[in-house]
Structures are given as structure tokens and as C-alpha cells.
Amino acid sequence: MVSNTIKFNLEPKCQNIDMAADRGISFLKSHGFSDDAVQVPAMVLRKLIKSSINFGRYAPAANEIAVCLQIDKNTYTIEVTNPVCETCSDRLKELDKTIQFIRGYQDPYEAYSRRLSDVAATPFNTEVNDLDLVKIAYEGGAILDFFVNEDNFLNLSAVGSLEGDG
């Protein structure tokens, strides 16, 4: 029997994002999902990992991101876990603010449209980190959530629907 879950760790480097997405794609295809059906969860996986890297605090003892992709019928859940520290509290407040912003709209397109307008009005040298999360909600049709556990690990997750046969 083929497992409905894949778990792996990776170093928090941007060049590892595509490798992780390829593992997710292979996993979903092994469950019978088509090339087209796996593209959205792969995009969500990429953007969750990228966001996780942005929010994380890495040290030699905790220099990995844990990734878990689980499927249940035609629903997928992606969880990305990484270490954070006390100095990350401002960034975690921004993460919470972004997720609450997304949830504040009935239609994720409205949040996406609003955030694009905000980005367009922002000076070029200003860093805007939350557009990837808004894309997960709108383009990925996924529900976002997060928590920080007692060991100071951020768990950032998305739940979405898989189209097609699996």
C-alpha cells in the first residue's frame, strides 16, 4: 500500500525549493494525479517553503525545514516547520496580520487584488513578504494557518483541493 504522506527535511536555501516541489509532484503523481492536477499544490509548496525561510531563524543545531505533504481523497495538506526565536516576534506578528487580512475577505481574489494594489503603491526598495501567502489563498485556493509550538518551531500550513483522479 502506498502511503498518503511524504515527509522530508531540507536546508533553508532558496535553491532547495524546486527540489522540494519536484518531490511533492512525484509523490502526487504516484497517487494517480495528472500533470495538471499537481501544479497548484506544487506552487503552494514552493511558496510555503519560501515564506518559511523568510520567517525562520536558523542555527547550526536547527538548520533544517521539515516538510510534510499529506493527501486524503482529493484534499492535500502541506505543513512546513522551521525554528524561530524570540527576535522573530515582529515577523510572526506580521505573519498573523497577513493571515488575518486574507481571512477578512469572503473571496481570496479580493485580498489578492488589494495586496497587488498595495505592492504597486509601495516604493521599489521596500520589502513586501506577504504576497506569496496571498497567492496561496487566491491562486492555490488553499486555507492558510500557522502556530508556534512550545519549542519555538513555526508550523505554517495550507489545505487545498486536488482536481482530477487520484
Domain boundaries, the chain: 5-161
- With a cut of 70, list the residues of the chain below it in pLDDT: 1-2, 57-62, 123-129, 164-166
Q: Virtual CA dihedral for 141, 132, 88, 63, nearest 10 degrees?
A: 90
Residue 124's pLDDT is 59
| pTM higher than 0.85 | yes
Residue 58's pLDDT is 63
Residue 3's pLDDT is 85
Q: Report the distance separating Cα 54 and Cα 45, nearest Å.
A: 14
Residue 60's pLDDT is 57
Residue 62's pLDDT is 61
For 100, half-sphere exposure in the C-beta direction (CA atoms, 13 angstrom radius) is 6
Query: Is residue 69 within 8 Å of residue 10, measured between CB atoms?
Result: no
Residue 53's pLDDT is 83
Give the SS3 label for residue 74.
Answer: coil
| CATH code 3.30.565.10 for 5-161 | yes
Residue 34's pLDDT is 92
